[in-house]
Chains A and B, each alone.
Chain A
């Protein structure tokens, strides 16, 4: 089962910031928080990941709550190309030490022109 909870959908206006929330109340001390996004008819694309501190890269920023039970992906200026399903994922250690990603249904972001 997915260990994260996200809203099913969100809307944003073009060129405005977008804050995509994720709850992960059962996160363990060693779990990293990963975000991927999936554009229509494509495979998922890595966006960002973090452990405790806030993270920034060219695509987005990741704000992690102090208790690590929630996080927020921030797109600073949404564009039409950012319309996608955004997945917040915790790494899950499976059999033989496999690092598996348990994908939920994600948040479908709609960007309005």
Chain B
């Protein structure tokens, strides 16, 4: 079946512009995560959605970052007034239910480059 889909796969933009990244989770997966991965680093948790519960935004690095998800469907991660330090791969993952033992299924990420 279809896995987690992210778009665009690559995004190059100028410093100061806003960007919007999209994630289509696996159908039926109630939990959705966003991560950031800088070059040569591990994954950094950003935000978590679970059904209609309030999202866990504890990993968002600044108020320039925001994310939305409607129900159990598509999520968008928005970065306003981008900075060069925002350059990274942004990964989305979904899992079947909230719980530490359900595997997370990852997309291949959006590679964001800020000029």
Chain A residues with a Cβ under 8 A of chain B? 2, 31-32, 34, 36, 41-46, 49, 87, 91, 93-106
Contacts and interface: CB of A to CB of B under 8 A. Distances in A.
Interface of B: 4, 33, 35, 40-45, 48, 50, 53-54, 56, 58-59, 91, 93, 98-101, 103-109
A105 B41 contact: yes
A67 to B, nearest CB: 20
Contact of B56 (A87, A98, A103): A98
A101 B103 CA distance: 11
Most buried by A among B35, B43, B58, B101: B43
A103 B53 contact: no
B53 A43 contact: no
A95 B58 contact: yes
Contact of A94 (B35, B44, B56): B56
Contacts of B35: 103
B5 to A, nearest CB: 11
Most buried by B among A91, A100, A105: A100
A97 B42 contact: no
Contacts of B101: 32, 49, 91
Contacts of B109: 43
Contacts of B108: 41-43
